Amino acid sequence: MHNEVNPEIARSWLLVNGNHAEAFDRAANSRADQIVLDIEDAVDPSDKDAARGKVIDWLSGGGRAWVRINDRSSDFWSDDVDALTGVPGLLGVMLAKTEDAAHVSETFDRLRGEKPVLVLIESALGIEEAVTIARARGAFRLAFGSGDYRKDTGTSADDLAMAYPRSRLVVASRIGGLPGPIDGPTASRSHPVLRESSEVAVALGLTGKLCLDTEQLPVINEVISPTASDVTWARDFLADFEARGRVIRDGSDLPRLGRAEKIDKLARAFGINPL
């Protein structure tokens, strides 16, 4: 598998149908920062057991991935968590349709507290409860199920209409002490459309994005990463700050220092060089 990016800062999260075992290796060797094998919405109820088995076989044979499991209220949740507990290669679970902090903590506890829970919020109630969900035991990072949210609320895909739920997840993540949230996927295959939607997500404070196609990965990774010019500024600022003995000159120095350190950390993690 490619070198995994730390999931706390991972930009691209590639969803892979859990019933398509032939795609697992290809996804693992793609440009995705993290992959998520999906045994929830991508799989027909009659195929759930078979898909779960394929996922566990691959993880037990050396694969490494997250798994999107069925929601807490479904008939499949209990079988999902029991079957995945202790499976080698499982990095964590993505919990679908989360609407209550208890959904997170119960999932985490059933997994023996050994694996983090990536919380997928997909409804009006989930958005309303986002702060308590972000504070739940086992919550690792929030993700936005934008398609199901639109279906639940009747909201259009317009950027302005979707700014509120995205911003709620950003604020909740900050209050809960979690990394920045992960945006929902962009269905369009158009790279300009994907670039624009990714830029909007970044502007709102989201730091990752779900995706459905390996062709989307380079665009997502580029847009969510610091630019080379950002890295140049950050490295120059940090060098100057060290040269003057880390002396604070005015009220703008500390915020700029924090920004420079964050950019430098991300650039090193993502392999981005200054101009």
Quickly name the fold that domain 12-224 has.
TIM Barrel (3.20.20)
- Picking from 131, 210, 209, 143, the residue whose alpha carbon sits closest to that of residue 177 is 131
256 confidence band (pLDDT: 50, 70, 90): very high
Q: Spell out the domain ranges in the chain.
A: 12-224, 228-270
pLDDT at res. 4 = 76
Instruction: Inform me whether the pLDDT recorded for 2 exceeds 90.
Output: no
Average pLDDT value for residue range 25-39: 97
The pLDDT score that the predictor gives to residue 275 is 87
pTM, to two decimals: 0.95
pLDDT digits (tens, 9 = 90+) for 196-242: 999 999 999 999 999 999 999 999 999 999 999 999 999 999 999 99
In angstroms, the Cα distances linking 19 to 37, 153, 158, 236, 272 are 9, 30, 32, 49, 35
Q: What average pLDDT does the chain have?
A: 96
pLDDT at 19: 97
CA pair distance 138, 98, nearest whole angstrom: 13
- pLDDT value for 3: 61
pLDDT at 100 over 70: yes
* 113 φψ region: left (φ > 0), alpha (ψ -120 to 50), beta (else): left
